[in-house]
Amino acid sequence: MSTSQQPPLSPPPQPTSEIEEVLTDDNDSDYSSIDSEIPLSSTTNKPPLPTMMIDSLFTTPPLLHDPLVTQTSTVQDETVNEILPFLSASNKQPDLFTYNEFGVPNLRREAHVNFLHMSLGRLPGRFVAADASRPWFLYWCLSGLAMLGEDVTQYRDAVRDTAKSMQNPTGGFGGGGGQLSHLATTYAVVLALAIAGGEEGFEVIDRRAMWKWLGGLKQRDGGGAYCAAVIITLLDLPLDLTPESPAYKPDDPSFNLLSGVADYVRRCQTYEGGISSSPSAEAHGAYAFCALGCLSLLGNPSRTIPQYLNLPSLLSWLSSRQYAPEGGFSGRTNKLVDGCYSHWVGACFPLLEAALNGSSMPVNDSLFSREGLIRYILCCCQDDTKRGGLRDKPGKMSDAYHSCYVLSGLSAGMHQWVLDETENNGEEPEWMVLPCLEGEQVFEVGDRVRAVHPVYVIPQGAVRGMKNYYRAKGGFN
Ligand SMILES: [Zn+2]
């Protein structure tokens, strides 16, 4: 049997190429009318300092250069050449950006907030291609706004009503009204409801139907993982399978919704050390995060991650995703740096650090260059027009997807997570966040974004609020 036939882990929450095209198409006049409605960010007009402290690592091409010229090496060189002026602050735009003494621009918070509010409103007609991704826009925008420090409770009623229109009586949420339920869109709706908060929103979810629906999706080999594990744990669903589930094992009643998942994740680690969508596929940053997130939900990550994954090879692969001079991450071997991997790869490190710190080989330093990541994000991923929002790289348009995951990566770079296991009394360990101050901090205090839970990627208060609500109910009523 070919292993490539196996079902994938839950799909990484990324736009399809078709949607990415819509999100990043800059030849649309509709946007110019939207742009004119966006007020400019109020920048403090500080004159740039005469000398900025930028390490030459970030201002010069790599010392080692493979002489073999291929299509891949050519586009890599072009990308570095396009990015260097941004990293060395030689193309300063004083009307839109202010720079600190490290040559790093300030976060254009107000412009990004405006962009995300706009993305939650009426969108140009061509976004019809993203119709099956409507829950994603809710999640990306609400999560982005929360990280930027905005109060999103104003969207409670709208999120509740939209969620209601997308739920199917057979369980789960579709991408829009009248669409089939899907694990990925259900994951996005549940997270959006958690961020917006409020019992009326939580009450929308038919948890019994959700539980039965998940039972119908359960694969005997353990595939279909991160999105399901997030939904199950946030909604405090029972793990049992009913005899109607295709995965139900009459001879093994203990086989449940999460059985076999950890072993499936183990089989997705590739010869490179990274994690793929299914056994024998190519290692990819988004699946690395989903795999680590999944293992962190199945048990204490300091135990589950080393138990199911080869840590040294995973660490080697993850570290190879961070490039110099760019500072940001790529998603796969020989691919270009892209802002969204600031999250998919960058957010793997807190989970890995937690795993190692609970083991016999604790780490005292960061396992990645926080400075490099923060420089890439603030220098290269901030839209440099009045539109605002965050993007893949210079030359690309900002969009809601990249805004969410670039900000989440920024949050991973600006904070340190510790797993507090002191008083767990059988309960799951608590994640504690600390501001990361090690070494030189190249961002200003006012540019810090809020921390998000390292596994659920929503504010910790939102995780607690939703879990406690359903736990207190005890059962489906
Ligand atoms: Zn991207």
The candidate with the shortest Cα–Cα distance to 116, out of 146, 90, 87, 77, is 146
Is pTM beyond 0.75 here?
Answer: yes
Asked if the model's pLDDT at residue 18 lies above 90, the reply is no
How high is the pLDDT of residue 359? Answer: 65
| Residue 342 phi, psi (nearest 5) | -55, -35
Which stretches of 405-447 are assigned E, i.e. beta strand? 415-420, 430-435
pLDDT score at 427: 65
Q: Using CA atoms in the order 181, 185, 188, 193, what is the torsion angle rounded to 10 degrees?
A: -30
Whole-Å CA distances, 437 to 105, 274, 448: 19, 29, 12
Query: Is 218 noted as a catalytic residue in this protein?
Result: no
Give the Cα separation of 403 and 336 in Å (integer).
18
Which of 284, 343, 396, 415 is the catalytic position? 284
Q: Which of 39-53, 93-107, 439-453 has the lowest average pLDDT?
A: 39-53
CA 146 to centroid of ligand 1, rounded, Å: 20
Q: What is the DSSP letter of 438?
A: S
| DSSP for residue 309 | S
What is the rounded distance in angstroms from the CA atom of residue 253 to the CA atom of residue 392?
Answer: 47
**Would you state the pLDDT for residue 440?**
63
Q: Choose the catalytic residue: 117, 391, 393, 402.
A: 402
Torsion of CA 456, 461, 464, 469, to 10 degrees: -120
Query: Angle 400-414/109-119 helices, nearest 10 degrees?
Result: 140
Q: How far is the CA of 229 from the centre of ligand 1 (A)?
A: 24
Q: Write the pLDDT tens digit of every residue in 195-245.
A: 999 999 999 999 999 999 999 999 988 777 899 999 999 999 999 998 999
Distance (Å, rounded) from C-alpha 200 to C-alpha 122?
24
- Any catalytic annotation for residue 341? yes
Residue 340 known to be catalytic: yes
Question: Confidence band (pLDDT; 50, 70, 90) for 30?
Answer: very low
Task: Identify the band that residue 6 occupies on the pLDDT scale cut at 50, 70 and 90.
Answer: very low
Q: How far is the CA of 14 from the centre of ligand 1 (A)?
A: 8
171 forms beta bridges with none
For residue 360, the model assigns a pLDDT of: 63
First to last CA, the chain: 44
399 as an active site residue: the answer is: yes
The per-residue b/e assignment along 164-200, b for 16 or more CB within 10 angstroms, e otherwise, is eebbbeebbbbbbeeeebbbbbbbbbbbbbbbbbeee
55 catalytic? Reply is no
d(CA 477, CA 472): 10
Place of tokens 């409507």: 134
Q: How far is the CA of 171 from the centre of ligand 1 (A)?
A: 31
Range of weakest confidence among 28-42, 130-144, 347-361? 28-42
20 CA distance to ligand 1 middle (Å): 9
Q: Extract the tokens encoding 409.
A: 């990566």
Is 212 tagged catalytic? no
Of the listed ranges 188-197, 263-272, 424-433, the one predicted with least confidence: 424-433
CA 406 / ligand 1 centre spacing (Å): 9
- Catalytic annotation on 402? yes
Active-site residue, selected from the candidate residues 156, 332, 450, 453 = 332
Quick one: pLDDT at residue 438?
60
Query: Is 80 exceeded by the pLDDT of residue 11?
Result: no
